[in-house]
Each structure stands twice: as structure tokens, then as C-alpha cells.
Amino acid sequence: MNLLDSVEELKGVGPKTAKILYKYGIRTVKDFFYNLPRDYENFEAPTSISEIRPGKVVIRGKIDSLTTRRARKRNLSITEGVIRDKTGAIKTIWFNQSYRMRQFDPDKEYYFTGNYEFKNGRYSLISPSAALVSDIDPSSGLSPVYVAHGSLKSHDFKRLMEKSRDQFAKIPDLLPTVRTGIRKDALFFAHFPNSLKSAQGARDYLAYEELFELILAARLNRRENEKLKATSIPFDASRVKDFVGRLPFKLTNAQRLASWEIFQDMEKDTPMNRLLQGDVGSGKTMVAAMAAYEAVLSGAQVALLAPTAILATQHYEKLRDLLEPFKITVALLTGASKNKKNLKENIKNGKISLVIGTHALLTDDTEFLALGLVIIDEQHRFGVEQRQKLVLKSPSELAPHLLAMTATPIPRSLQLTLFGDLDVSVLNELPKGRQPISTKIITEVETKTELYPKMQEVLNKKPDPKGKSTKAHGQQIYWICKTIEDGGASLGMDGSKLGGGSEVVSVKKRTKRLQEVFPDKVVEFLHGKMKPAEKDEVMGRFANGKIDILVSTTVVEVGVDVPNATLMVIENAESYGLAQLHQLRGRVGRGSSMSFCYLLTSGDIPPSRRLRELEKSSDGFYLAEIDLKLRGPGEIYGSLQHGALDLKIASLADTKLIHRAQVDVEKFLQNPENMLKYKELMDGMVKYQQLTTLN
């Protein structure tokens, strides 16, 4: 048996089973062994049926009289049966688990565990899990529980695992470890634990392995990047002084340090691979502008990629104003650009030095003469392939420098593992004079008494001095809704219908209602289904203060900068993730006036930890750590790679284990022979490297 053989090589896995396993990503013998139980059921110390009490119970007995029927409510099947031991019999019942009909042999003994409770007029054991007595190690009483994949249920996996029990001995070690055979033992005890402690120990080791692989991949990425060549962009102090001198404000220290780090990187003839992290409003665009300025003045072309047309347009306007005084040609390329052909020609012949755009930049016919720097804003919004596409647009052998920016701070633990190949600059300081955003969870019943009066107050305030409002008075408001039109089912974060009876009011309906409440104000809406030109037009008027209340979906989430908007309402706040809420909230608090954010909930259930944390803190780095704990890395690291980063075993919150793996990876790399010796490990690296690379 070879770990990379198809699962079909395993005993008990025929073509039909293999097909299902394949569908769920279990293709090889290795995948099969690494499909670890999600939990362990404890069948220790069963009670006899005559002594059973309501509540959680473990019993041991035979089962018969199984029947399944459809309940009157559609989509519900009810499977019932009788469990007996020497002392008595009880009824058991499962909902929507008709496969239980074929799980049991009436002559065999099983353990059952579940809640014994009063339901539909009688006591029964409700939806118990079950395991063959002969399958359970009597010393531990533990039974693994596997995630069901299609028609393959937990007990099917158990049965298959049992058939391969003698194969574990053949599994070779993956990495150099303190003890040979530790990997096969770990895998074995994860599937056949003789105590909870041994199961935990097994999982700890496998988690360590997983972290080792991630960290190694990141280190290898860095090595590969160091082998590439790039055009050096010499740092010119007087040039930079010239630029900074024209700014209407002083750079923050963090901005100065970050740009210094970037200039240093770009001077080298290996490509920069830097991530600029900065909380919303920390002024990343300015840092990007300086990098672009330096690059263009030394003869390189620069491409800036943004996730939305609104954002690209805003960057374009800002950078054009900043850079055109230096005779730098700046262009905007989005799906809506009219003169695309002409634009692309001028990008290709080098007449355009800095092009800012959306996905439209990525098409094959966008070619550059001398692409020297790629800047990616909100980089977590893009997938690996998309980022790569842009980087590969450099026509020469030389790779462009890469600056990726994100406002979703990457927790330190992720930085050490997944992004160990990156150099990171941090803007941990907001420009002077920013006011904190007062955040408050409020319930629907408080809308009239508290929220509307507050909105009225803000709408009547003097405009923020930082804004470019053309109105004689008034600050502005964002109101964020979940759906565009009525009737669209709205889903919560977990994909469930928004519970608690909370009403989901659409953008359109909300616009109408707010117009009624504030009849003399301009209330308009914005959403992702509008044409790009329409969106830009609305956003433009909002930025110029011509719209008082902008009702919108989350399209305003990223980057948009309107300093005169000082109040935001997020309706159905419970349905967003922490990172997203923080990003949304970052649209206000950009001027010098006090800003407010109201998290509107139905009030039917107590506010979640997410909302409470958001109410307490405006520190994106702190919130990112919390988010990592609450949701896991896959969620944080962007929708496009969604799922890819979900570690099977390791927790990225386990800093101790991460540290240990890190130290061991360094040792591993010091001996070049290891790369040849641990072939399975190295072969697996490709996948991990793709997952973690930035370019």
C-alpha cells in the first residue's frame, strides 16, 4: 500500500463508495487516513434500562421493530424502534435518519447514547448515536464520530476504517521527528483511541505536522521569490521630499516608516513581496501613492488593482490629483471604461504610467511595456490566480515588485504560518485628529425613540471641515441593508434564515421609509446590481454632499472615503461577520467630527459576542484576533479562497505549537538533504505553496 494510491485500493472500498469519497475530496489512501473523526462518543459505563432516568444516557442492548414513516409535516421522516436489555425495553426515535433502518442487526448488541426525554406523550431516547459493542474498545468505551459524506454516514466510515486497521503500521513518517513511527501511531490513535488522552495526543501531533507543512511552504515561497529578478528602483530622497512637501497634511510616523520599508525593498533587484496592513482609515492609499510615484519617476509602469469600480474610481481621482502635477499620466480602466481599446494601447506603448483598475486590468489584452510595480488594494478580495495574472503581465524576464494592501489585519499567528514569506508593514496609527466612532447595539423598538432623533441631529450638524460637501449644512449618513429587493430570502452568516423573527428590510423599501421620516432630505440608494456608471454617479454625488442619506448594500464596504459621512446604521447587524462589520464601520469616522455607528438588531435574542466586541473596540488588530478565535482562518482570509485554508486539525490560535513547528522548520531547512529524504512532504508542498503565496 502506498499513501498516494487511490482509495479504491483499500479493503471495503468499491467503485460506488470510491465515487462518493472522491466527490468529497477523499481521493487517496492518505486522504482517507487523514479524514479524522470530528468527535468521540463516550459509551463508558452504560446504565441498565430499568434504572434509566431522563437526561443524557448510555445504554447497551439490542434493537428491533424498526419502522420509518413520513410525518404529516413535509420533509420529515420518523424512524422508531425498541431497544431492549435484560432489565427492560424503551422506545427510541430518530428524525430524518432513515438510514438507521439498515444500520442495525437485530441479533447484535449496540451501545446507544442520547437524551432520554418526554416527547409526544411518552418517554423515548431521542436521536441516539449508536455503535456496535464489538467495535468499541472496552477499556475506553470511546467511539469516533465521522462527518457524514453523502450517503456515507459516520458508522460507514467506522466500518471502513476497521477494515484498514492493519494498514496503519505501513504509514511512514512524514517529517524528521523525535521518535520514528510517531505519525502512524498518531493516525491510529486518532481513529482507534484507547483513551481520550491518547486521542488528544494523536491530534496534537497531527496538528503539529499540519503547521509544519504550512510554515515550510511559506519559507519555500520566500526562497523562490528570492531567486527571481526585478528592476531596481533607486531611492531618490529629494524626489520624495518634493512629493511629501505638497501634501496638505503631515504623514503619520507609521506611514513614513512603511514607505521607507517599501523604498528599501524596491531598490533591490529581487522583487518586493510586501503586505501593507493598516486599519481602515490609516492612510494606506497615500503610502501606495508614494511607491507608485517613485516607481514611475524611475521609468517603470505601475498597476493598481482594486476590487470594485467605486473604489478604483476613487483611487484614480485621488492619485491623479496627487501625481499629475509631476507630469505622471494616470488612467482608469474598469469594465465601464468607454475608450478601452485606446487605453490599452497606451498602456502597451507606455504612454500611461499608472493605471488603476478593476478586474478589467486582468484580461489578456491588457499588456504593459515595463510593468515594474503592482499594487493590490484589499488584497484578500482577490484569489491567488487573479493576483498572479497581474504579476505575470511584466513582459520581460523581470518580475514586478508587489505591494499588497489590506485593512483586514492578519492576526500574528497567521502571519507566522501562512504568510511567513511576506514582509509586512503595519500602519498602526491613525492620522491626527480622528475621532473614535461611538458604536452602539440598538434594537428595532428603539428606532423611533433613539435612532431617528440622532439621525436628525447629525443631518443638521455643520459639515465636516475635511469633507467636500457643497451643502450649506448637514452631515451625511450611511444606512446598510441586507437585501436589494423585497422577497429575496436573506441568509444569516451560517446560511440559515435570519432567525428571531427579525424583519429584513430591503434597500428599496428602506429608502422609501426613510424618505417618509426625513421628507426634506435627499435619500437615495446604491447596490451591486446597478450599472457601474450608475453606481459611480450615485457615489460621486454622495461624496460631494448632494445626498444626505445613502441606503446601500455592502458595496460601500471597501475603501470608500467620504469624511462628511458621520453616522452609519447597519441593519440586521447579526447577519455579518466581525471583520466585515469593522470594515463597514470604517466608512465613518474619517473626518474630524465625532462619528456614530448603530448596530441594529431585532432584539429578540441577546446580542452575539461579535456585536459586543465591536461595540467595545475599534482596534482592527484586536478584532481580527477575536474573529480568528470565533470563526477560523478560512473565513478571515477572504471569500475567494474560502475553505481552502480551513485547517483540518490545527488551530491557528495555538501559538505555542506554531512556535515549535517554526523552530523545527528552520532546522529542517538547514540540512539540504532533508528535501530529498522527505519526498512525500516535499511533494505535498506544491499545494500549500499555492495556498499561501501572495504573488
Under the rule (CB under 6 A), what is the footprint of ligand ADP?
249-252, 255, 278, 280-286, 407, 431, 559, 561, 590
Are β-strands 110-119 and 122-132 bridged in parallel, bridged antiparallel, or unpaired? antiparallel
Residue 37 vs 559, nearer CB to Mg ion? 559
Residue 3 vs 251, nearer CB to ligand ADP? 251
Distance CA 168, CA 189 (A): 10
State how far the alpha carbon of 674 is from the alpha carbons of 174, 175, 176, 313, 681, in Å: 11, 9, 8, 50, 10
State the binding partner of 360 from ligand ADP, Mg ion, none, CB within 5 to 8 A by kind: none
With CB under 5 A as the contact rule, which of the stretches 381-389, 413-421, 541-549, 552-560 interacts with Mg ion?
552-560
State the binding partner of 283 from Mg ion, ligand ADP, none, CB within 5 to 8 A by kind: ligand ADP
Cα of 560 vs its chain's centroid, Å: 21
State the binding partner of 553 from Mg ion, ligand ADP, none, CB within 5 to 8 A by kind: none
Residue 59 vs 636, nearer CB to Mg ion? 636
Shortest reach from residue 252's CB to ligand ADP, in Å: 5
Cβ partners under 8 Å of residue 562, min gap 6 = 467, 476, 542, 543, 587, 590
**Shortest Cβ contact with Mg ion: which residue?**
559
State the binding partner of 282 from Mg ion, ligand ADP, none, CB within 5 to 8 A by kind: ligand ADP
Residue 156 vs 561, nearer CB to ligand ADP? 561
Query: 581-584: long-range contacts at Cβ-Cβ below 8 A with a sequence spacing of 24 or more?
Result: 581/610, 581/611, 581/614, 582/280, 582/614, 582/618, 582/620, 582/623, 583/280, 583/407, 583/408, 583/557, 583/558, 584/480, 584/554, 584/556, 584/557
Residue 288 vs 505, nearer CB to Mg ion? 288
With CB under 5 A as the contact rule, which of the stretches 81-89, 192-200, 426-434, 553-561 interacts with Mg ion?
553-561
Cell of 290: 508614494
Shortest reach from residue 558's CB to ligand ADP, in Å: 9
Residue 23 vs 250, nearer CB to ligand ADP? 250
Q: Are residues 380 and 353 in contact, defined by beta-carbon separation less than 8 angstroms?
A: no
Residue 26 vs 581, nearer CB to ligand ADP? 581
State the binding partner of 278 from Mg ion, ligand ADP, none, CB within 5 to 8 A by kind: ligand ADP
State the binding partner of 474 from Mg ion, ligand ADP, none, CB within 5 to 8 A by kind: none
Distance CA 588, CA 280 (A): 10
State how far the alpha carbon of 167 is from the alpha carbons of 162, 180, 189, 302, 671, in Å: 10, 17, 13, 55, 31
User: Does the footprint of Mg ion cover residue 278 (CB under 5 A)?
Assistant: no
Residue 83 vs 286, nearer CB to ligand ADP? 286
Angle at the Cα of 546 (from 543 to 550), degrees rounded to 5? 70
Cα of 486 vs its chain's centroid, Å: 28
Residue 92 vs 285, nearer CB to ligand ADP? 285
Shortest reach from residue 304's CB to ligand ADP, in Å: 12
What is the contact mask toward Mg ion in residues 558 to 587, using x (rule: CB under 5 A)?
A: -x----------------------------
State the binding partner of 431 from Mg ion, ligand ADP, none, CB within 5 to 8 A by kind: ligand ADP
Shortest reach from residue 475's CB to ligand ADP, in Å: 16
Shortest reach from residue 322's CB to ligand ADP, in Å: 9
Residue 290 vs 636, nearer CB to ligand ADP? 290
Element (H, E) at 371: strand 371-376
Shortest reach from residue 499's CB to ligand ADP, in Å: 33
Cβ burial 55-80 (10 Å sphere, 16+ → b, else e) = eebbbbbbbeebeeeeeeeeeeebbe
State the binding partner of 561 from ligand ADP, Mg ion, none, CB within 5 to 8 A by kind: ligand ADP
State the binding partner of 203 from ligand ADP, Mg ion, none, CB within 5 to 8 A by kind: none
Cell of 265: 525593498
With CB under 5 A as the contact rule, which of the stretches 98-106, 257-265, 510-518, 556-564 interacts with Mg ion?
556-564
Shortest reach from residue 587's CB to ligand ADP, in Å: 9
Cell of 669: 531547512
Q: Are residues 353 and 331 in contact, defined by beta-carbon separation less than 8 angstroms?
A: no
Are β-strands 423-427 and 401-406 bridged in parallel, bridged antiparallel, or unpaired? unpaired
Residue 192 vs 263, nearer CB to ligand ADP? 263
Cβ partners under 8 Å of residue 487, min gap 6 = none
The 3-class secondary structure across 149-201, one letter per residue, is ECCECHHHHHHHHHHCHHHHHHCCCCCCCCCCCHHHHHHHHHHCCCCHHHHHH
Element (H, E) at 373: strand 371-376
**Shortest Cβ contact with ligand ADP: which residue?**
283
Question: Which is nearest to 84 in space by CA: 108, 53, 115?
Answer: 108
Shortest reach from residue 284's CB to ligand ADP, in Å: 4
Shortest reach from residue 543's CB to Mg ion, in Å: 14
Residues engaged in binding Mg ion (CB under 5 A): 559
